[in-house]
């Protein structure tokens, strides 16, 4: 692979993380699950991709998210949040807030609408990103930071590209049944894939398993499903304390199960991102690259239901933003002012186009004791889950 060269300090940090993971593999009889490997390369204290100090987003990082593309995204989300907060109370909880750009745009738009947010809490595990958030949001005293999911919450929860950052398990179908694909050490000390039998619980979310061919490799999402169930417990506790409901807006790239586990998607969706280059090798420079997989939204919806939540809506990002009124936000800038209008129009096209983010990205809304406005139902795809 022709990828950008890392600095000496970055290579040294990656080597240290490689040694840490190798030690764990040796202590675990020579094998760890891929989910555990992914957890370490992303979140090992001080060394993992998200817990280390390297830039993640923007030109100096590895990828770009919707809030970094245009403030129209956060403005549209704010319009949805404003309607929901009339039912839930005026608190927001965001997971993995990136550079803080989404929070900034949401709070700015809510201020313009005359809506005062009592508290905007951010759960962030990355020290580098929290520092950027603190700078971006320095003029919003209502913003606070948490290190973990609160026990109870009522309000609106936001999660943009959060579920895809959670560790996944790998499973492969063989002539002898399903195997779990984990990580072992090669003779030279490098990481290699290694399969072993797995229990039925690991692959039970895969529909029509008998029709899938031998060699079919894919991901399952136990960690993200557990997160969804935890949201349910948090929201239930919040309702018990305040009597108010809660809604969670989760935006990510992925598919419903019947598309995710399509026979033609035979090698799964696992992908790595390094300096705006996408490639398939999760063992490349551990700790210096993002490792991610698409989201199985059927599994997330079922986990939400198992956690006591209702599925309030599911649709494409494009349809959700249209229903949120993103077009109204765009026309605030006169089309005659081409210097300002055209960049915003082009950015909105990237968010909305089926060839860009509009169709691949989906929005799942779950919650309790709350409902989406009626006009969001016209594009609802919950029946496809």
User: Any bridge partners for residue 87, and if so which?
Assistant: none
Question: What pLDDT sits at residue 57?
Answer: 45
Distance CA 172, CA 37 (A): 17
Q: What share of the chain is helix, strand, coil (3-state, %, to 5)?
A: 40, 25, 35
244-276 CB burial, b ≥16 within 10 A, e <16: bbbbbbbbbbbbbbeebbeeebeebbbbbbbbe
**3-state DSSP assignment of residue 378:** helix
Residue-by-residue pLDDT tens, the chain, 385 positions = 677 788 899 899 999 999 999 999 999 999 999 999 999 999 999 899 988 765 544 455 556 899 999 999 999 999 999 999 999 999 999 998 989 999 999 999 999 999 999 999 999 988 888 999 999 999 999 999 998 999 999 999 999 999 999 999 999 999 888 999 999 999 999 999 999 998 777 788 899 998 999 999 999 999 999 999 999 999 999 999 999 999 999 999 999 999 999 999 999 999 999 987 899 999 999 999 999 999 999 999 999 999 999 999 999 999 999 999 999 999 999 999 999 999 999 999 999 999 999 999 999 999 999 999 999 999 999 999 9
Nearest one of 112, 30, 39, 18 to 71, comparing CA atoms: 112
Q: What is the CA radius of gyration of the chain?
A: 21
Determine which helix (DSSP H) or strand (DSSP E) holds 73, and give its type and residue range. helix 71-88
Query: d(Cα 248, Cα 81) in Å, to the nearest integer?
Result: 10
Residue 361 in tokens: 């990205």
Residue for token pair 């490639």: 279
- From CA 346, how far away is CA 382, in angstroms rounded? 29
- Token digits for 217? 């490799």
For the chain, domains (ranges, CATH) are 31-384 (3.40.50.12710)
């Amino acid at each position: 692979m022709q990828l950008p060269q890392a600095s000496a300090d970055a290579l040294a940090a990656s080597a240290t993380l490689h040694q840490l993971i190798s030690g764990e593999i040796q202590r675990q009889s020579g094998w760890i699950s891929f989910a555990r490997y992914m957890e370490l390369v992303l979140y090992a204290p001080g060394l993992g991709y998200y817990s280390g100090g390297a830039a993640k987003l923007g030109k100096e990082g590895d990828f770009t998210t919707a809030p970094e593309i245009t403030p129209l995204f956060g403005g549209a989300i704010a319009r949805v949040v404003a309607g929901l907060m009339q039912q839930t109370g005026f608190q927001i909880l965001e997971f993995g807030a990136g550079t803080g750009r989404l929070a900034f745009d949401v709070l700015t738009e809510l201020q313009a609408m005359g809506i005062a947010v009592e508290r905007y809490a951010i759960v962030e595990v990355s020290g580098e990103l929290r520092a950027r958030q603190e700078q971006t949001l320095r003029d919003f005293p209502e913003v606070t930071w948490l290190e973990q999911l609160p026990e109870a919450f009522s309000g609106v929860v936001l999660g943009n590209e959060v579920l895809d950052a959670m560790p996944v398990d790998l499973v492969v179908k063989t002539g002898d049944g399903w195997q779990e694909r984990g990580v072992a050490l090669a003779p030279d000390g490098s990481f290699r894939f290694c399969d072993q039998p797995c229990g039925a619980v690991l692959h039970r979310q895969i529909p029509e398993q008998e029709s899938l061919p031998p060699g079919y490799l894919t991901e399952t999402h136990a960690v993200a499903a557990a997160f969804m169930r935890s949201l349910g417990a948090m929201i239930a506790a919040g309702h018990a304390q305040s009597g108010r409901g809660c809604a969670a807006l989760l935006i990510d790239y992925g598919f419903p199960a019947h598309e995710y586990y399509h026979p033609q998607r035979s090698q799964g969706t696992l992908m790595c991102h390094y300096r705006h280059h996408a490639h398939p090798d999760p063992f490349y420079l551990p700790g210096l690259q993002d490792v991610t997989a698409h989201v199985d939204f059927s599994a997330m919806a079922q986990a939400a239901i198992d956690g006591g939540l209702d599925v309030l809506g599911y649709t494409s990002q494009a349809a959700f933003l249209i229903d949120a009124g993103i077009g109204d936000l765009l026309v605030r800038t006169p089309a005659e002012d081409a210097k300002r209008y055209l960049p915003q129009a082009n950015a909105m096209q990237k968010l909305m186009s089926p060839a860009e983010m509009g169709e691949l990205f989906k929005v799942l809304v779950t919650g309790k004791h709350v409902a989406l406005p009626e006009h969001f139902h016209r594009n609802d795809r919950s029946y496809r889950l």
